[in-house]
Amino acid sequence: MKGMSRAELSVLIKCCICIGCSIGFVSNCIGLFYTPMSEALGTGRGKIAVISTIISLSAAAFGRIVARLIKKFPINYVMTTGALMTVCGLFVLSFAREIPLLYAMAMVIGVGVICFKNLTVSIVLYSWFGEKSASKLGLAMAFSGVTAAFMNPILGKIITASDYGTAMRVLALVIGVFSFPAAFTIRLKEGGAEKSSANAAKSGSDEKTYIPTVLLILMAVCLPISVSGATGMNTHFSSYVVTLGYSLGFGATVVSFQSIFNSVWKLVYGFLADRIGPIRSCLVYVGLSITSCVLLITLTRLPAGIIMGVSLYPVAFSISTVGMPTIIMKVAKERYAEVYATANMVQAISYATMTSVYGVISDKAGNYIPCIMMVFCFALLCGTTCLIIRKKEKGVLD
């Protein structure tokens, strides 16, 4: 990239690899194993799908511990250990045949991935690029979609030709081959922004680390809950299209547009945040999220309108994966790891909850219009929260 040194480009590539392995290969590919695992083990897909829930919740719960570990140990040690746990967890999972062991390995994988995904990668990027790290984080997060799009068809062919266990072991091998060298050779920049902040935190300067309670609640509770409400309908769009009278094939097309633009909007958010700031960028994206809801409610009879609405919907995920960490980084500074770990935990729990809530509401209503109206309200709440954070942040910094 223009104006970037060789060392900076190397760090960026390693961060992209870590995000690709932790989110792209694990979080975005694990669903492919639900059906073959349920058929092989003679159990329902629901019991197998719990694996994904456990991975997400254990990752979120362990986040605060990771925040403490990176203050005591070199960050590359933490990230490499996480990659090793993920690989070992997947390898054992490929042989496991008992539900309790499946769930135990899912927990190991969840703890592993949080060590080398959003939390640690954003700290590394901030160390090297400071206030201009948003575009790099956006690129890394977009890379997760690219790697998943590449790996899912390959895993599908392996499952068809052999079995899910072989495919899972191949996935573990690929993650190990790419993530170990990247994670182990990552370093915080000497004198970099995050490293200086970490040193300040260790010195015990309360004046530098103090954040008003209201601001902490806004960043660690209100913002993640509002973002989760705005993103919680993500898995329902194929069903939403069918309830409107369209075919399941059109539903698959809609999901494809959603996946493509999920990566595009993350990349755009990062570059926008570097120019106008993460909070203003969030407000722009809130406006786009609201526009998405309007299109999905008013243009239900037009396939092009549905595609436009669904293509805009992933802007909420950009707020979740790029906006929220960069906003917290800007405001919390040396307490970033601690605050973001808490926000990530709240978000994971509320996202899992809202996904189920939208399913229940749609079943009772017979359509998804009430759900989209809720997404609209959560987007407004997100925008309001960002405005208040901006006002409170100015008071703190001044």
When pLDDT is averaged across residues 79-101 and rounded to a whole number, the result is 95
* pLDDT for the residue numbered 301: 85
- pLDDT at residue 15, rounded to an integer: 95
Q: Which of 186-200, 249-263, 270-284 has the lowest mean pLDDT?
A: 186-200
Tell me: the pLDDT tens digits for 105-123? 999 999 999 999 888 999 9
Query: Which pLDDT score is estimated for 150?
Result: 83
Looking at per-residue pLDDT, the higher value among 301 and 169 belongs to: 169
Identify the weakest region by mean pLDDT among 21-25, 48-52, 72-76: 48-52
Task: Give the pLDDT score at 279.
Answer: 92
Confidence bin at 206 (pLDDT 50/70/90)? very low
pLDDT (tens digit per residue) in 303-337: 888 889 988 998 998 998 899 999 998 888 888 88
CA-based max dimension of the chain: 63
Q: What are the domain boundaries of the chain? A: 6-202, 211-393
pLDDT (tens digit, 9 = 90+) per residue, 348-360?
A: 888 888 887 888 8
pLDDT digits (tens, 9 = 90+) for 225-245: 999 999 888 777 777 888 888
pLDDT of residue 193: 52
Q: Quick check: 367 pLDDT over 60?
A: yes
Residue 220 has pLDDT above 80, yes or no: yes
Of 1-5, 44-48, 170-174, the poorest mean pLDDT is in 1-5
Q: Which of 63-67, 154-158, 239-243 has the lowest mean pLDDT?
A: 239-243
Domain 211-393: what homologous superfamily? MFS general substrate transporter like domains (1.20.1250.20)
pLDDT confidence bin for 78, thresholds 50/70/90: very high
Q: How far apart are CA 327 and CA 321, in angstroms?
A: 11
**Is residue 59 pLDDT above 70, yes or no?**
yes
**Arithmetic mean of pLDDT over the chain:** 86
Q: Is the pLDDT of residue 194 over 80?
A: no
**How much is the average pLDDT of 211-225?**
90
**pLDDT on residue 394:** 65
**What's the pLDDT score for residue 118?**
87
pLDDT category of residue 395 using cuts at 50, 70 and 90: low
**Average pLDDT over every residue of 210-224:** 89
Task: Give the pLDDT mean for 294-300.
Answer: 89
Query: Domain 6-202 - what CATH class?
Result: mainly alpha
Confidence of residue 2 (pLDDT cuts 50, 70, 90): low
Q: pLDDT tier at 124 (50, 70, 90 boundaries)? A: very high
